[in-house]
Chains A and B, each alone.
Chain A
């Protein structure tokens, strides 16, 4: 499963892993904004952005091939819009859409692959993301493991009793989804009770977040300068 692999990546040790989550989030945003606002992605411009993304992957000690393959997960979605642009006769725009979405996904994977979710959510929160949103993500991620494990158990149990004709299998799958939904609801109630039993009153406090160090600031400065320089030079070239 994707989230297990990415979680394993996030527990590694590298220059990027050691950086504060907030610094990495700001750099990712800068990269995404620069990429999104580049008007026409020429092959040279695409290569420059790709080089930045690949530098991130290498600095994070992440497996290049596997990450680039996983980033392709966004392509089916953007390909739909790219096809429309192609039909409208705007091939460069179609190519730009694909390249931008793909590189954005790769950059996001660099962030989540070098930052454990707990730190990432805490970083996002201290940058002003709503607590409710980070809580929902946190619970979703926490119980994704439990629910997917339950689903796998149910699948095995079904396999043990033989796989019948196709319509029967669809019915069994539909039933399994309904049972999973009911169980998840029941579990949500159990979790809420466990929270109440430990004094939950509607607000969760978090343990203090870590401080941004000098190395983080230097990294942030260098990263922002690089992205800004790239974006500015591309802008100038475009105007020429």
Chain B
């Protein structure tokens, strides 16, 4: 089976000299959902920004058979949809429906078709009623779902979600996980939240200092790197009740 994403020997250094990616190899296959774990600054977000050409390092990156390079960028960006960590950065149009229609209009759809595509995407995320609202009046969970609708309206084959649970309360996290499970696209989920990742993915990779140091079943990766929140053995959980 041909991989949807193929990355070989990817290296990237920021202008300030920080080596963010140091030889990353990765493949994503159709129908797969993969969780990307790793400590802050380990290179996860830098890595996903290479997949749709927002950053360009050394090495080979291809998406749906297209090499990610300047002349292919419009086609690549139609194949892969990136949901940003901060929804406020993604929702820049004055109303929800205009924001969701932004991608289809850029893709060359006429206004009627773009409106229909955007309405369908809003129906997919269950927020059709908010079409006329301004994005800054939405809750964090609604913003995240509208941001996702904006990406779904691009009809991508791959979804990349960067820290999708940031700012979401537990019910909103559950709703988002249920919504994502219903979507047929292959997914890459950058997250620190092992429980959320387990609800979506069977496979995980672990980033460390700009490299993928482990790739395998998610339970094994979580156990091996102890990727769960909680107290360490030396910390008290709080004052013990008397008696």
Contact = CB atoms under 8 A, between A and B. Distances in A.
B101 interface: yes
A198 interface: yes
A198 B94 contact: no
B165 interface: no
Given A191-B89, A207-B98, A207-B111, A199 B136 contact: no
A146 B115 CA distance: 27
Nearest to A196: B54
A197 B101 CA distance: 14
Contacts of A205: 105-106, 111, 114
A143 B101 CA distance: 19
A199 B107 contact: yes
A111 B23 CA distance: 58
Contact of A121 (B78, B94, B97): B94
A201 interface: yes
Size category of the binding interface on chain A: 20 to 34
Interface string A105-148: 00000000000111001000000000000000011011101100
Chain A interface helix/strand/loop/mixed: helix
Size category of the binding interface on chain B: 35 or more
Contacts of A138: 93-94
Contacts of A190: 84, 86, 89
Interface in A77-124: 116-118, 121
B92 A199 contact: no
Nearest to B85: A190
B240 interface: no
A208 B116 CA distance: 12
A193 interface: yes
Given A121-B94, A197-B52, A197-B81, 15 more contacts: A142-B135, A143-B88, A143-B92, A191-B90, A195-B102, A196-B54, A197-B82, A198-B102, A198-B151, A199-B106, A204-B105, A204-B106, A207-B105, A207-B115, A208-B115
9 contacts: A145-B136, A187-B88, A193-B84, A193-B89, A194-B89, A197-B54, A197-B81, A198-B106, A198-B150
